Amino acid sequence: MKVMIVVTHLLGTGHLSRALTLGRAFSEQGHEVLVVSGGMPAAQLDTNGMRVSGLPPLRSDGTDFTRLLDQNGKIADPAYFAARTTALTQAVRSFAPQVLITELYPFGRRSLAAEFLSALKTARGLSHPPVILASIRDILAPPSKPAKAARTDEIIAEFYDGVLVHSDPKIISLEVSWPVSPQLASRLHYTGFVAPSAPQTHPDGIGRDEIVVSAGGGPVGQPIFRAAIEAARKMPNRRWRLLVGGQDAETRITDLSHLAKDTSVTIEPVRPDFRQMLPLAAASVSMCGYNTTMDILQSGTPAVLIPFDDGKEVEQGLRAQSLSQLEGIEVLNSADLGGQSLADALTRVISDTPRAAMTRGFDGAARSVDIAQSLYETRQ
């Protein structure tokens, strides 16, 4: 099959990372994959086995997802959005997918509805229209008004053949964060969690006995890094590694390096071998995004989770709450974050009963391929 995945990440890189994991699963089964990305470039992510095409990139202005900035940091104007729409619809026409997957939309990215709807209408107008699927994570940002959920239902009914929910309903069902109508329920396909293969230990031993601190691919993790440097001064017997991402990573690394003088803290850009460090690490400090959570569960690494909660965000808090009962995991709210509180939380998780790495339930990408192929074959 020819599979197109459309994704726009606006703050971190989690949405793109999950879309690429899905794309690799299709590619590994011999399908031709095109990922159309509308966010800022993320060179550290693995794009092997698929073609990636970029739209004129956007990012959010911090946590304000209604104020979108172009690649030069200026507010995107109508002409910029029009260029994105044109490029996306042209990609649909030229690639002519047999399966079209939109990541998050129509459950989110409502500010980009015009380009997504144009792509959906273009796909439906092809001589051989594709199977159209939405791809969503375990927990969504709940709709602020009933009308938003109703509009999502209307778009699903008009254009979509199904919704891939990358979760296990026995652990986290969509109803936790989204009102599921009977009509929507009939379109849901739970896939299990989408994650790469379990991380293997780093061949060079990088990360061994370190406290590894990560905060995604965006700028919102700076308070976590600052707290980690303070905590490092209170835990001088531990070695630390801070992995800084985002377009301004170089500047932020310079600022953090000044704070970290005379500490055992290594500060560097995010790196593709991050997952291989986790099985060796003494502990992980991170936010509680979907992809990072999968890495922590698969590695069994003790972890302090700091849910992202700016701009009325609740997704990570809900996920963290569901994980807080596990051994070796502690949740520290951002309002309570500081050097001492982080050091105390790390001391507890490191001394807690070791948590076995989870090995089942992470085949959501492969199951997504099976579901898409079944729907495509049924149509033939």
User: Cβ distance 214 to 204 under 8 Å?
Assistant: no
- Do residues 226 and 179 share a domain? no
Q: Does the pLDDT of residue 219 top 80, yes or no?
A: no
Question: What value does the mean pLDDT take over residues 309-328?
Answer: 86
Question: What value does the mean pLDDT take over residues 347-360?
Answer: 92
- Do residues 144 and 249 share a domain? no
Whether 8 maps to a domain, the answer reads yes
pLDDT at 217: 65
Among 324, 247, 274, which Cα is nearest to 71's? Answer: 247
- Do residues 366 and 303 share a domain? no
pLDDT at 313: 78
- The pairing of beta strand 303-305 with beta strand 329-331: parallel
Whether 205 maps to a domain, the answer reads no
Q: Positive or negative, the Cα torsion across 20, 219, 322, 153?
A: negative
- Do residues 278 and 155 share a domain? no
Question: What value does the mean pLDDT take over residues 76-100?
Answer: 97
pLDDT at 311: 65
Q: Does the pLDDT of residue 111 top 90, yes or no?
A: yes
- Do residues 220 and 313 share a domain? yes
- Do residues 173 and 37 share a domain? yes
User: Cβ distance 229 to 213 under 8 Å?
Assistant: no
- Do residues 215 and 166 share a domain? no
What is the total count of domains within the chain?
Answer: 2
Whether 357 maps to a domain, the answer reads no
pLDDT band, very low/low/confident/very high, at 360 (cuts 50, 70, 90) = confident
Whether 202 maps to a domain, the answer reads no
pLDDT at 85: 97
CATH of residue 266's domain is 3.40.50.2000
- C-alpha 322/C-alpha 178 separation (Å) is 16
- Do residues 143 and 228 share a domain? no
Q: Does the pLDDT of residue 218 top 80, yes or no?
A: no
DSSP class of residue 310 equals G
pLDDT at 46: 83
- Do residues 65 and 180 share a domain? yes
- Do residues 179 and 219 share a domain? no
Whether 356 maps to a domain, the answer reads no
- Do residues 71 and 123 share a domain? yes
Q: What is the pLDDT of residues 283-296, one digit of tens each?
A: 999 999 898 899 99
Rank 182-186, 270-274, 309-313, 324-328 by mean pLDDT and report only the highest.
182-186
- C-alpha 233/C-alpha 228 separation (Å) is 9
- Do residues 226 and 257 share a domain? yes
Question: What value does the mean pLDDT take over residues 269-278?
Answer: 92
Whether 340 maps to a domain, the answer reads yes
Q: What is the pLDDT of residues 8-55, one digit of tens each?
A: 999 888 899 999 999 999 999 999 999 999 999 988 888 889 999 999
Whether 36 maps to a domain, the answer reads yes
Whether 259 maps to a domain, the answer reads yes
Lowest model confidence (mean pLDDT) among 71-75, 98-102, 313-317 = 313-317
Give the structural domain span for 308: 210-351
